Amino acid sequence: MEIIENQVYEKIISDLLEQQYSVVEDFFSLEQVEELRNSLLTKYEEDNFKKAAIGNRTNEVIAKSIRGDFILWLNEAEAAPAEKAFFSKINDFVNYLNRTCFMGILHKEFHYALYPEGTFYRRHLDTFQNDDRRKLSMVCYLNEQDWQPEYGGELVIYRNENGKEVPKSIYPFPGRMVIFESQILEHEVKPVKTERLSITGWLKTR
Ligand SMILES: O=C(O)CCC(=O)C(=O)O
Ligand SMILES: [Fe+2]
């Protein structure tokens, strides 16, 4: 089958090869972001979110000193239209990765996340949850368009450059998507001064 080159995906792939992470400003349109934000907020108001835990799903510990967000795992089969459109874009990206880079992505898992004022997620590696199948982490921010840097909540990625640790701060502006190597890059979410919304997920092998 012929592969039609996609410039956005190609940029992500070359960023990942060069620096283990990539930031894309318009992976999802602002309309899509708004629909996802509304869907997240409705489900949060209906009390469907759980306090996020650390450890794997059979060995969960709620540790507020490590992370303070609330999450809701998404089920693709039962997804609402906004989430169906989200997954269709993710699936398109996964197919591209598998066909052009032989990444062998077989599974994925995504959750909504809401960080209430004052919460954070301390420095960690996403494979600490006993899941070494996690290959790529993806975070898409669903905040309002007037999100300000003073609100905090930046994602800080720690990269090693020539033996020196270099932190990269990425603010959670709406529509922004961050993709990084789950097994390599430690990262943290700095304390937020106002509610912070996102979808986070992992592309997994085997
Ligand atoms: O929301 C973010 O920017 C990152 C979240 C994160 O690190 C995680 O959920 O593992
Ligand atoms: Fe993480």
Name the DSSP letter for residue 10.
H
Could you count the other beta carbons within 10 Å of the beta carbon of residue 33?
26
Domain 23-205 adopts which CATH fold? Jelly Rolls (2.60.120)
Copy the structure tokens of residue 165.
Answer: 């640790």
pTM here? Answer: 0.94
Residue of 137, 183, 186 best suited for mutating to test ligand 1, as the one with most atoms within 8 Å of CB: 137
Domain boundaries defined on the chain: 23-205
Q: Are 75 and 109 in contact (CB under 8 A)?
A: no
pLDDT at 51: 86
Q: Say yes or no: ipTM exceeds 0.90.
A: yes
Residue of 111, 155, 190, 202 best suited for mutating to test ligand 1, as the one with most atoms within 8 Å of CB: 155
Classified as helix, coil or strand, 16 is helix
Name residues whose C-beta falls within 8 Å of residue 6's C-beta, 6 or more positions apart in sequence.
96
pLDDT tens per residue across span 79-109 = 999 999 999 999 999 999 999 988 899 999 9
Q: Among 188, 152, 184, 198, which residue's Cα sits nearest to residue 168? A: 188
